[in-house]
Amino acid sequence: MEKLINYAKDNKENFLSDLVEILKIASVSNNPDFQKDMNECAKWIEKKFNEIGLNNIKIYETEGHPIVYGDWLKAGADKPTILIYGHYDVQPTDPIELWETPPFEPTIRNNKIYARGANDDKGQIMIHIKSIETYMKTVGKLPINIKFILEGEEEIGSKHLGKFIKEHYDLLKCDYIVISDTSMYDENMPSICYGLRGITYMQIDITGPVNDLHSGSYGGGVDNPVNVLATIISKLKNEKGKILIDGFYDDVIPISEKEHKEFNRLPFNEGKFKQELKISELYGEESYTMVERMTSRPTLDCNGIWGGYQGDGTKTIIPSKAGVKISMRLVPEQDPDNIAKLFTDYVKKISPNTVKVEVSALHGGKPYSASLDSPAIKAAIVSLKKAYGVEPVYTKEGGSIPIVNTFKEILGADTLLLGFALPNENAHGPNESFDLNNYYKGINTVLYFINELSK
Amino acid sequence: MEKLINYAKDNKENFLSDLVEILKIASVSNNPDFQKDMNECAKWIEKKFNEIGLNNIKIYETEGHPIVYGDWLKAGADKPTILIYGHYDVQPTDPIELWETPPFEPTIRNNKIYARGANDDKGQIMIHIKSIETYMKTVGKLPINIKFILEGEEEIGSKHLGKFIKEHYDLLKCDYIVISDTSMYDENMPSICYGLRGITYMQIDITGPVNDLHSGSYGGGVDNPVNVLATIISKLKNEKGKILIDGFYDDVIPISEKEHKEFNRLPFNEGKFKQELKISELYGEESYTMVERMTSRPTLDCNGIWGGYQGDGTKTIIPSKAGVKISMRLVPEQDPDNIAKLFTDYVKKISPNTVKVEVSALHGGKPYSASLDSPAIKAAIVSLKKAYGVEPVYTKEGGSIPIVNTFKEILGADTLLLGFALPNENAHGPNESFDLNNYYKGINTVLYFINELSK
């Protein structure tokens, strides 16, 4: 280990210059104008995989952007195999005028590197590439088997990855998946993220009279789709955040005493939170902490609503139509399809006969929870402690990373979410950055992790 | 009279071609893009006033859209003076995709003319212009004194008309006002409308977090402006149409036994009503008939709602903002300003502190009720019977014509509401139309009316 850690210490300049190189490539996946850059980025990674001594390197074409694969499988069948997943595509850069330095000209200020993709996810990809390089250049081999897969469509919904995994089961099968694409809880708080919320996304469409009607001539005698929709929404959740859909909580695993204690260790600065969001009061279920509300409890939120006249001034109509998009965040063991059914049944039950109410399920993803007893998580805990010098904290993420479920379903393997970004580093926003302390400490963490896992 | 009726019979083509011309002008008053069309329409009317021989013709500029005036006052001081009021502005045309033919390309199908403004109010304006033309082109004079005023801001609350009337008291003073901007009760049921509902039009704007937030990362801990808005709306009115705002019904005059009997004489075809509107069930306050619900009881309707993502597919956000436009129809003796205050107080009372709630009053108009014994109403009854060959019915209109109260207050004169539209002609909606039978019979009615009033 000493040799490894010394190599990492002596090679900070090399580690940084490769990070700068990949960040210069404008691999924006949602815009065909950047197709050339997407291909250039895949080729750059292929070259890097070659340099660090991976085998079976190949750029797999898909119907969308290519997937880059490489592996090193010479540790022997008695050693575990991990699959490292990441993505080389980045979000678009608009609003471009809010960037202090150009998004594809990486710039260092206060030991942070500023560029689109700095933390999401190129910086975190490079942590793994540079860890493998360190092993290969010092001891000439790895103590475990490693497969490395990088896709180019994460920011546009990983459209072709599921099919690829299904068609390459043997190539990808493994004991654990490792993804570095999440955040630490805060500075100097290395984090183990062991859960993600799932999602059920619904739409309600209401049709009343065949046309918009004059609200003077018909008001009082013809029901109003917007009023009906508002009443339906008001019956989905009470004002304290409790969801009123029959059976909604039936499969929810309560937060354990142990989890509750862990969550209470996480600092939460109410003043800063309210100030940053410009809200005057917090919200949520009464007997839960803010961290629990936003990561470990199911939710119901309207994402958009529409109906009738939205312009300036006044228009006096009973609108013919109204609609709403509603997403529910799910926790173990809620099932997205079952929740979609419960939602639909409940909405139908509370709808009046004066209007037509249609309910559609738009998409769903299961919640995810990893066991804290898995060897990969145990190895990660030890490694983070060694690299950072402090005990890691246990966190859950309120959002969803659908690919985690895809891996579980197809490959049967659990995912370790080992994130080195910070919450205020503006992933997806202007002036995205990545703290270089976490870049170097991340590399050390992975060096320890690979070693721990081999034991 | 025979000469007059014959002229009207022989000039249907001329009557129609002028109607088509005015309907081609896109005089939408709520949108500055149509300023040119508004001016064009005022000029068109000025030209028409000249052609039919009115005097003192002038386009009066206001701070908003211009007012067109013309008169003929040579009948002598012993003859009554009527003021004909109408409006040349029209509602916006959205949702434009639901129009079968373009709103400003008048099209005749089944003896109905389809265009924005066909019945509200250009078709009904033209009835008066063509009646005066008939008198002037046949007998060369009118048997009563007539003043004619057409404004361009009726659809946006007649913002500058009140001031204009106050400043032009002498120009406008009269014995009766005649307005044709309402509907007949049904086909072949010429109607005397003796009451109008008032209106209070409000807007609620809700602001939550400073930006749209990721519904996964923040859901459950930050309140959602759309959910809050839905809950507020659901508390304004119960599902049977009873309004829950404190004090809302305090000034409502109950429907009298006599009125209740008159209303019961009016036919209401539930099957046809539901079929025409494509609704499966009626709606409203339990112990009132449909006619009463839509004309003589106060209401509360959402006219439009918005917030968050309205596009295809899914976007997982807690929206930063949401809003709704709400109109309430009022009956005697409810006061629009008082209702605006009650509404604001109630919304503030039921709003949570987790979001910012702003309530604005957009416009208001008092309810109106006329005496059935006035000479103008008596003349109208005789004229309608002659033109249509049947006894007219007594109705109230669910809509609001705030200017009726303004006239009463400033000029001290009562208004005769002589409406020739039909209830299913989609005023304010797509495919607005006007039955040409009523256009021609309307002209005959006014010919008789002018004559009756001169006796």
Q: Measuring CA to CA, which residue among B382, B386, B421 is closest to residue B5? A: B386
User: Does A310 contact B294 at a Cβ distance shorter than 8 Å?
Assistant: no
For B333, other C-beta atoms within 10 Å of its C-beta total 13
Give the integer Cα–Cα distance in Å for B114 and B134: 25
Residues of B in contact with A307 (CB under 8 A): 302, 304-305
Mean pLDDT calculated for residue range B145-174: 95
Residue bearing tokens 């500075």: A187
Q: Measuring CA to CA, which residue among B184, B115, B157, B111 is closest to residue B394? A: B184
Give the integer Cα–Cα distance in Å for B151 and B401: 13
User: Does A279 contact B325 at a Cβ distance shorter than 8 Å?
Assistant: no
The H or E element that residue B337 is part of is helix B336-350
Predicted pLDDT of residue B271: 96
Q: pLDDT digits over B31-59, tens only?
A: 999 999 999 999 999 999 999 999 999 99
* B16–chain A nearest CA distance, Å: 26
Query: Which tokens sit at A12?
Result: 């900070």
Helix %, strand %, coil % for chain A, to 5? Answer: 40, 25, 40
Give the integer Cα–Cα distance in Å for A144 and A127: 17
Question: Who wins on pLDDT, B211 or A81?
Answer: A81
Q: Measuring CA to CA, which residue among A212, A355, A314, A218 is closest to residue B99? A: A212
Q: pLDDT digits over A418-429, tens only?
A: 999 998 898 888
The sign of the torsion formed by the CA atoms of B247, B252, B257, B262 equals negative
Residues of B in contact with A216 (CB under 8 A): 197, 199, 329, 397-400
Q: pLDDT digits over B71-82, tens only?
A: 999 999 999 999
A418 CB-near residues (< 8 Å, 6+ apart): A178, A179, A180, A182, A192, A380, A445, A446, A449
Predicted pLDDT of residue B262: 82
Predicted pLDDT of residue B394: 87
In a mutational test of the B interface, the residue from A316, A356, A426 whose CB has the highest number of chain B CBs within 10 Å is: A316
Predicted pLDDT of residue A99: 94
Residue bearing tokens 């409308």: B193
Establish if B14 touches chain A: CB-CB under 8 angstroms: no
Phi-psi region of A76 (alpha: psi -120 to 50; beta: other; left: phi over 0): left
B153 CB-near residues (< 8 Å, 6+ apart): B29, B62, B64, B65, B87, B89, B159, B160, B161
pLDDT at B160 over 90: yes
B150 CB-near residues (< 8 Å, 6+ apart): B42, B45, B67, B68, B69, B85, B86, B87, B88, B125
* pTM for the whole structure: 0.81
Q: Read off the pLDDT band of B315 (50, 70, 90).
A: confident
Helix %, strand %, coil % for chain B, to 5? Answer: 40, 25, 40
| CB pairs A-B closer than 8 Å | 309
Predicted pLDDT of residue A257: 93
Selecting from B201, B227, B299 the residue whose C-beta is nearest the C-beta of A237 gives: B227
User: Does B319 contact A312 at a Cβ distance shorter than 8 Å?
Assistant: no
* B290–chain A nearest CA distance, Å: 6
| SS3 assignment for B71-103 | EECCCCCCCCEEEEEEECCECCCCCHHHCCCCC
Distances (CA, A) of B288 to B145, B250, B254: 43, 18, 11
Selecting from A222, A277, A317 the residue whose C-beta is nearest the C-beta of B428 gives: A317
Distances (CA, A) of A165 to A151, A330, A367: 11, 25, 20
Q: Measuring CA to CA, which residue among A86, A182, A87, A84 is closest to residue A142? A: A84
Q: pLDDT digits over B384-406, tens only?
A: 999 999 999 988 989 877 788 88
Mean pLDDT calculated for residue range A266-288: 94
Highest-scoring range by mean pLDDT, B53-67, B265-279, B307-321 = B53-67
Predicted pLDDT of residue A142: 98
Strand locations in B215-373 (E): 301-308, 317-318, 321-330, 356-365, 368-369
User: Does B308 contact A285 at a Cβ distance shorter than 8 Å?
Assistant: no
B267 CB-near residues (< 8 Å, 6+ apart): B186
Give the β-pairing of A301-308 and A198-207. unpaired
The sign of the torsion formed by the CA atoms of B148, B150, B154, B155 equals positive
Predicted pLDDT of residue A176: 96
Q: Measuring CA to CA, which residue among A154, A215, A192, A224 is closest to residue A376? A: A192
Q: Read off the pLDDT band of B383 (50, 70, 90).
A: very high
User: Does A303 contact B317 at a Cβ distance shorter than 8 Å?
Assistant: yes
Give the β-pairing of A213-214 and A433-435. unpaired
Selecting from B280, B307, B397 the residue whose C-beta is nearest the C-beta of A353 gives: B280
User: Does B313 contact A277 at a Cβ distance shorter than 8 Å?
Assistant: no
Q: Which residues of A120-150 are buried (b: 16+ CB within 10 A; e: fewer)?
A: bbbbbbbbbbbbbbbbbbbeeebbbbbbbbb
Residue pair A252/A334 in contact by the 8 Å Cβ criterion? yes
Q: Read off the pLDDT band of A156 (50, 70, 90).
A: confident
Of all residues in chain B, the one with the smallest CA distance to A367 is: B216
The structural domains of chain A, ordered by start, are 2-196+367-454 (3.40.630.10), 198-252+298-363 (3.30.70.360)
Of all residues in chain A, the one with the smallest CA distance to B205 is: A310
Q: Read off the pLDDT band of B3 (50, 70, 90).
A: very high
Q: Read off the pLDDT band of A320 (50, 70, 90).
A: very high
Q: Read off the pLDDT band of B238 (50, 70, 90).
A: very high
Alpha helices in B69-204, H assignment, sequence order: 123-138, 161-167, 169-172
Mean pLDDT calculated for residue range A96-116: 96
A128 CB-near residues (< 8 Å, 6+ apart): A84, A86, A148, A178, A180, A446
pLDDT at A122 over 90: yes
Residue pair B225/B322 in contact by the 8 Å Cβ criterion? yes
Q: Mean of the per-residue pLDDT values for chain A?
A: 95
User: Does B304 contact A226 at a Cβ distance shorter than 8 Å?
Assistant: yes
Predicted pLDDT of residue A298: 98
Q: Read off the pLDDT band of B258 (50, 70, 90).
A: confident
Q: Read off the pLDDT band of A371 (50, 70, 90).
A: confident
Predicted pLDDT of residue A244: 98
